C-alpha cells in the first residue's frame, strides 16, 4: 500500500511527539546499587556473673555508603544493644529503626539505618 501524504504527516507528528516527550520528561534518578557487605567479626559478647550475652550482625547491606561505614554503624548499634538492652535511635548520624521480635520469638532484630541518600540494613541475632 503506497504511503499517502496524510500517513507521512501522521508519522512525522508521532516522531516529533516522542522526541519532545523524551526531552521534557525528567530522567529517572538512578539509585546507587545495594552492596552486600561482610559481617565477619561483628560479634560481641559480655558476661554478667555466670550468664554470657552475645549479639551478632548478619545480612549487612549498604546503599549509598561504603561497606566500611556500614560495618561501623552496625558494630556501634550491636555494641550499644548488648550494653543497654535496646537499639539506639541514632548512630553516627544515621537514624535507626528496629523491628524487635515478639515475646517468646527468637531474638532476631531487623535494623534499618538511614541518612540522606544512604541506607544500611542488617540483622542482629541475640542481645541482652
pLDDT digits (tens, 9 = 90+) for 11-32: 444 444 444 444 444 444 567 7
Q: What is the pLDDT of residue 127?
A: 67
Q: What is the pLDDT of residue 66?
A: 96
Q: What is the pLDDT of residue 3?
A: 56
DSSP 8-state code for residue 75: H
Closest CA to 114 of 63, 50, 42: 63
Q: What is the pLDDT of residue 1?
A: 53
**Dihedrals phi, psi of 26, to nearest 5 degrees:** -70, 145
Q: Cell digits for 34? A: 545495594
**Dihedrals phi, psi of 23, to nearest 5 degrees:** -80, -25
Q: Cell digits for 127? A: 542481645
As a three-state string, the secondary structure of 106-122 is: CCEEEEEEEECCEEEEE
Is 80:73 a contact under the CB 8 Å cutoff?
A: no
- pLDDT < 70: residue spans in the chain: 1-30, 127-128
DSSP 8-state code for residue 29: P
Amino acid at each position: 500500500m503506497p504511503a499517502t501524504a496524510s500517513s507521512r504527516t501522521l508519522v512525522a507528528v508521532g516522531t516529533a511527539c516522542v522526541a519532545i516527550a523524551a526531552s521534557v520528561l525528567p530522567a529517572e534518578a538512578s539509585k546507587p546499587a545495594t552492596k552486600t557487605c561482610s559481617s565477619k567479626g561483628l560479634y560481641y559478647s559480655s558476661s554478667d556473673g555466670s550468664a554470657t550475652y552475645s549479639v551478632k550482625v548478619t545480612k549487612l547491606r549498604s546503599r549509598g555508603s561504603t561497606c566500611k561505614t556500614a560495618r561501623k554503624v552496625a558494630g556501634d548499634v550491636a555494641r550499644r544493644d548488648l550494653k543497654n538492652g535496646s537499639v539506639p535511635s541514632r548512630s553516627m548520624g544515621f537514624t535507626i529503626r528496629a523491628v524487635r521480635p515478639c515475646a517468646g520469638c527468637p531474638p532476631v532484630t531487623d535494623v534499618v539505618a538511614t541518612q540522606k541518600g544512604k541506607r544500611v540494613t542488617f540483622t542482629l541475632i541475640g542481645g541482652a
